[in-house]
Structure 1
Amino acid sequence: AQLKADDFDWKAIFAEGVRWFHSGGIFAALSDTTPEVIVAGMKAAKAAGAVVSFDLNYRAKLWNIRGGHEHGVKTLEPILQHVDVLVGNEEDLQMGLGIPGPEVEAKSALDPSAFVSMIGKVTKKQPNIKVVATTLREVHSTNRHGWSAVAWINGEVAQAPIRDLDVYDRVGGGDGFAAGLFYGLLQGASPDEAVRLGWAHGALLTTYPGDTTMASLDQVKALAKGGSARIQR
């Protein structure tokens, strides 16, 4: 929370060949200086030709400490102007960008229609954004979840399959999805393939304790192609 933008030698960092820069709304809400750190990093990333992503992760309790919802939207505005890839569900988009909620009512937690209906509002406010993505989760019980994901990528909507998961620890599934999606985009995968890679990695991560992945790339690719989430030995 005490970090400042000039605490980093951004030019030296990106001179090492960094291809992707990621940050999120929780870090942005920690103090008055953390948004400045994010913007400085994003500007340096853009100058170096790297992709910039941001996970809205809107947390009302954190923003209430900083000055409330209006302050949160005002703080996130200059950050979002530099973003290529945005991660967040309907509520994150509504609260983080200060835009109206979905005009379409989802039939279930796994129905992407409400999320997709908000993309036009997002890109109208921030036309620089090329990708908007989120996970879809329906909780049947503590350890049984329905799981899917959806992304709007350069005008194309791609949705992952719906699968019931035996969940060991739900924490980190969304971050796992983002990591897999980013990997796919970096590798030049199609929108459908990139979303499936994110979906598969997020699904596998929920089968491990904690929020650190233990999945191998081969396991992620196998599940993304329709294989089993069982551990490969």
Structure 2
Amino acid sequence: MNSLNIRTDACELDFLSLGALVHRLDPGLIPFRKARSFDIHVSGGEYNVSANLADCFGLKTGVATAMVKYPIGELVQARVREAGVTPFYKWFDHDGVRGPNIATVYSDRGLGVRAPVVFYNRSNEAGSLLKPGDFDWKKIFASGVRWFHSGGIFAALSETTAELIIEGMQAAKAAGAIVSFDLNYRAKLWAAIGGLKRTHEVMGRIVENVDVLIGNEEDLQKGLGITGPDVHATSKLDPEVFFKSIDGVVHKYPNIKGVATTLREVHSTNRHEWAAVVWLNGHRYISPTTHLDVHDRIGGGDGFAAGLIYGLITGRSPEEALRLGWAHGALLTTFPGDVTMAKLEEVEAFAKGGSARVQR
């Protein structure tokens, strides 16, 4: 048992996320400045977890987000339907010139010693316009939701998005749902709305409503202002670095029941060492460490979160839940795009120590 008191009665949704949807333009190995064509990936840190849980793990999931009435919006809606995620849209009209827009993410994957590059156009983003009152939480939660999730990227989009997260979390708690939050600290986003002081104030108010926190030691230190070891002076794979920060987190936020993160040592763009850890109700759990041959690293952390949450929702032991998150995050880095292409049996097999030998 994982001691989170997750609802076991009939619920319309197992999982609901709140965040902004984006579309990522990906020319693959070609640097973006040299690109002549690209793939379009629909994603969003919070949405990715919903999509992974629906498509790979077969849970009933939803996303509360902004949607714009224009062709890019129609493309995004189609991908959401394809993933099997139930949408709750706040609609915006596009003026034909300036927006509001679905944000664009530009990336190339890099190779070997050449690092991946990611940059953004979040100008006049519909997601940043979301505010308290935009969703009828009472109606959404009336049919039952087991787990509610949001993240730090959405919190940093504007003055109003963090307030919406808190509103949603409080409605989720009142309805008996577990609440999780992925810190996902992004310095550039927070600098635009007040810097570290603003970050700590906003993130702190959000985390007061959270049961399960996802974030590495740098997220904890920069996002929450928790003191801890120098993250640049220690091994990225040392779980003790992460666990030393946990005491400060749970002392400051006694409502926190679980904290989880991935551990990644990057040797080159395509060679990583990968592990994960969970602290749950005072107990520590550590995954194996595995070598990754990475195709596309974006979304690996969201893949970990999805597998971990699936394990917890379905009553697996903390060790099993951690292994499922570790395995699914690892598999996700072998696919193009931000969301999963894995099958549950593949995740289960790898979590139990399966190999990459050919399946005949």
TM-score range, shorter chain: over 0.9
RMSD value, Cα: 1.7
Larger Rg: 2
Query: Could you report, residue by residue, the CA deviation over 1:144-187 in whole angstroms, capped at 9, with x for unpaired residues?
Result: 11110011011111111100011100000001001111111111
- Identity across the alignment (%): 68
Aligned pair count reads 233
Counterpart position of 2:214: 87
Q: Does 1:152 align with 2:290?
A: no
Sort the Cα spacing of 1:25 and 1:229 in 2 relative to 1 into closer, same or farther, 3 A. Answer: farther
How far apart, in 1, do the equivalents of 2:293 and 2:199 lie? 36
How far apart, in 2, do the equivalents of 1:19 and 1:100 lie? 33
How far apart, in 1, do the equivalents of 2:212 and 2:356 lie? 27
Shift in Å, 1:102: 2.4
Letter in 2 for 1:186: I
Matches within 5 A, 1:68-87: 68-87=195-214
Counterpart position of 2:305: 178
How far apart, in 2, do the equivalents of 1:107 and 1:134 lie? 16
1:106–1:114 contact (8 Å) kept in structure 2: no
Shift in Å, 1:228: 2.3
Shift in Å, 1:230: 6.2
2:228–2:244 contact (8 Å) kept in structure 1: no
2:218–2:231 contact (8 Å) kept in structure 1: no
How far apart, in 1, do the equivalents of 2:217 and 2:359 lie? 35
SS in structure 2 at match of 1:145: strand
How far apart, in 1, do the equivalents of 2:168 and 2:245 lie? 28
Counterpart position of 1:12: 139
Sort the Cα spacing of 1:138 and 1:231 in 2 relative to 1 into closer, same or farther, 3 A. Answer: farther
Sort the Cα spacing of 1:99 and 1:215 in 2 relative to 1 into closer, same or farther, 3 A. Answer: same
Gaps in structure 1 of 5+ consecutive residues: none
Query: Could you report, residue by residue, the CA deviation over 1:34-76 in whole angstroms, capped at 9, with x for unpaired residues?
Result: 0111011101110111110000011111111101100111111
Shift in Å, 1:188: 1.6
How far apart, in 1, do the equivalents of 2:277 and 2:196 lie? 26
Q: Does 1:220 align with 2:336?
A: no
Structure with the higher fraction of residues in strand conformation: 2
Gaps in structure 2 of 5+ consecutive residues: 1-127
TM-score normalised to the size of structure 2?
A: 0.62
From 163, 181, 186, the equivalent of 2:290 is: 163
Structure with the higher fraction of residues in helix conformation: 1
1:136–1:148 contact (8 Å) kept in structure 2: yes
